[in-house]
Amino acid sequence: MPKDPQKKTLTLRTLHYFWKATRAHLGLFVALILSTVGFCALLSYGNPYVMSLIVDRVSEGSVAPDEVFQVFGPYILALILINVGGQFCSKLQDYTAWRLQIVVNYDLATMAFDALANQSMTFHSNRFGGTLVSQTSKFMAAYTQLMNVITFPFLPVLCSVVFTCALLFPVVPVYAAVLMALLAAYAVISYVMYKRILHLNEKAAGAQNQLSGELSDAVTNILAVKTYGREDYEKALFDKANREVVARDSKRMWASMTRGITTAAITVVIMSVVTVFISGGNAWFGITPGTIILMFTYTNTVTNQFNFINTGLQRINQAFGDASGLTAVLDEPRLVDDAPDARPLVVSKGAIDFKNINFWYSDGGVRTQVFKDFNLSIPAGQRVGLVGMSGAGKTTLTKLLLRLADIQEGEILVDGQNVAATTQQSLRRQIAYVPQEALLFHRSIAENIAYGRPDATREEIREAARQANALEFIEALPQGFDTITGERGIKLSGGQRQRIAIARALLADAPILVLDEATSALDSESEAAVQEALERLMEGRTAIVVAHRLSTVARLDRIVVLDDGKVSEDGPHAQLVAKGGAYAGLWNRQTGAFGE
């Protein structure tokens, strides 16, 4: 195991997750072990043993032609049975290994998806999406790699040592003892050198993850790369990460080569010893020809198996290094988690209360206070605008309502129910969320609209699109509702994406609505169409509208002005303008009233 306690823990934790998934299919795992042992015992050791008996019988004297089957019949039958059994074990090993990898990889993929899907937005904000995908793929591949190493070479090596001892000790104990001592030296040296280079594999895996992250970042933001002519800059960043991968892989290669050369030298010594014993075995110990064949065959088998230990250890190093990234993710505590006794949220009206809220971010050990003893009540059915300067806490407040982050102190109530005591899924299904950048999947327009209500009929999807002012442009597309939107909806304009997001919210028909800068990135014509759709969407719902454009919130029932995490002003548009405070100043700047 690695010397670094943290790395040792990661290795043990990786084994924990792998065993957890394997234990669910214990029958397959046991069948794999037994079939591997049977395959090795019968074909690698049973065949040579029967052949040694045949050689010994031949050396005793010639056999008449008509007595061949009488004398050698039992040996022939034994060889046939051994080979039938060995081949059966071989095919059973193939099946169980393949099947086990399929079902366990399914469980590992599910485990990884659940961990990533249920992590907080804070967790995802601090990581490359491409790196997480890469780590998940490597984690699953590492299990396959580890199982392959167990079935070959490590289990065959163990079998070889046991069978060689069991079969040679009774007939040539001195030779067997010397052979076992040399093999023990071989194993110890391999293990010591393995420990020394384990960290090189982890560093190589880390460099590969960084390379994947750089590639993902550049591809995800390819429009910015091209429009700013920064291809050379991104290439330089990628090349730097790529060179780091080359450097780490080269160090790992040379360390593995050094270990391989050392163990190869031990193999030469072992074969030299067996040559001496075979040459003088009959003269010194009266060893029969059949036993000499056994000594050579078994020694050759076990040393060949040991030769693969180097490759096996290298593959284990790589497997644990590759798996370490996602293992750390799986061990990461959930910043937002359901309480053990969490119950579904039931919304009948949609009243929202923020009571004595204290919330702060912790980044790099630095605590940034956002809300301190914050209070805000929103009656059911009221449409409320949140305005203020950037950093005032508008978007953060909506994220706390959605439990994309958890408050440290206080309560957030929906119809009198503390959201921290309800399940996250039930909470978010009662809130239709429309962000500034529409969140579309690389799927059809119909699937995107029906995402919040997948059982909706095509007619219901069409009606939601009509109410969202999206029907006209959708039906003008060649494939209509079956048009694939592209990654993040890249095939559609900003206004089109936003109207599809509004159609999704309309179809979801949630009692609470959160609009976070839903029109800020649109042109005037698109904004008018979207604004009209939003008016329909807000009817009869409790709505929280975050906006920098005050024209978006001017017609709402109430406007709350946030300043440094506090409510500085609260009231209808006309009242706040007449008051002449912070809101009036913002309104005048945006409408040009000062100029007039």
For residues 74 and 318, what is the distance between their CA atoms, to the nearest angstrom?
48
Q: pLDDT of 441-479, one tens digit each?
A: 889 999 999 998 989 999 999 999 998 888 999 999 989
Contact 1, 11 (CB under 8 A): yes
> Could you identify the residue written with the tokens 């249920």?
118
Q: Describe the strand order of the beta sheet including 417-418 as a list of residue ranges.
A: 366-378, 352-363, 409-414, 417-418
Measured CA distances, 71 to 23, 51, 68, 82 (Å): 49, 14, 5, 19
Give 207's pLDDT tier (boundaries 50, 70, 90): confident
Contact 116, 136 (CB under 8 A): yes
Quickly count: other Cβ atoms within 10 Å of residue 127's Cβ.
Answer: 15
In a 3-state reduction of DSSP, which class is residue 225? helix
Q: Is the peptide bond before 153 cis (omega within 30 degrees of 0)?
A: yes
The ranges assigned to domains in the chain are: 5-331, 437-509
Q: Describe the strand order of the beta sheet including 512-516 as a list of residue ranges.
A: 431-434, 512-516, 542-546, 383-387, 558-563, 566-571
Contact 452, 504 (CB under 8 A): yes
Beta bridge partners of 514: 433, 544
Query: How high is the pLDDT of residue 2?
Result: 43
Contact 96, 25 (CB under 8 A): no
pLDDT > 80? residue 527: no
DSSP 98-147: HHHHHHHHHHHHHHHHHHHHTS-HHHHHTS-HHHHHHHHHHHHHHHHHHH
pLDDT > 70? residue 364: no
Amino acid at 189: I
Residues composing the chain: 596
Query: How high is the pLDDT of residue 291?
Result: 86
Exposure string (b/e) for 194-231, b if CB count within 10 Å is 16 or more? beebbbbbbbbbbbbbbbbbbbbbbeeeeeebeeeeee
Amino acid at 308: F
Query: How high is the pLDDT of residue 559?
Result: 96
Measured CA distances, 577 to 174, 520, 543 (Å): 102, 22, 22
Contact 105, 140 (CB under 8 A): yes
In a 3-state reduction of DSSP, which class is residue 560? strand
Burial of 33 (0-12, 13-18, 19+ CB in 10 A): middle
pLDDT > 60? residue 275: yes
Q: Take residue 422 and report the two structure tokens written for it.
A: 């309800």
Contact 343, 419 (CB under 8 A): no
Query: How high is the pLDDT of residue 306?
Result: 80
For residues 289 and 303, what is the distance between their CA atoms, to the nearest angstrom?
21
For residues 55 and 289, what is the distance between their CA atoms, to the nearest angstrom?
7
Q: pLDDT of 164-206, one tens digit each?
A: 888 888 888 888 888 888 888 888 887 787 777 767 776 887 7
Query: How high is the pLDDT of residue 592?
Result: 62
Query: How high is the pLDDT of residue 7?
Result: 58
- Residue range 82-95: mean pLDDT, rounded: 96
Give 596's pLDDT tier (boundaries 50, 70, 90): very low
Quick one: which of 280, 330, 302 has its CA closest to 172? 280
The 3-class secondary structure across 486-547, one letter per residue, is: CHHHCCCCHHHHHHHHHHHHHHHCCCEEEEECCCCCCCHHHHHHHHHHHHHHHCCCEEEEEC
pLDDT > 60? residue 1: no
Q: Is the CATH number 1.20.1560.10 carried by domain 5-331?
A: yes
DSSP 24-35: TTHHHHHHHHHH
Supply the pTM of this predicted model: 0.71
Measured CA distances, 2 to 5, 15, 208 (Å): 7, 14, 20
Q: pLDDT of 13-66, one tens digit each?
A: 999 999 999 999 999 999 999 999 999 999 999 999 999 989 988 888 888 888
Give 397's pLDDT tier (boundaries 50, 70, 90): very high
Q: pLDDT of 300-320, one tens digit each?
A: 888 888 878 777 877 887 888
Amino acid at 350: G
Query: How high is the pLDDT of residue 293?
Result: 86
Express as a percent the part of the chain with pLDDT over 90.
Answer: 43
pLDDT > 80? residue 106: yes
- CB-based contacts of 84, cutoff 8 Å, min separation 6: none
Quick one: which of 551, 168, 89, 456 has its CA closest to 534? 551
CATH class of 437-509: alpha beta
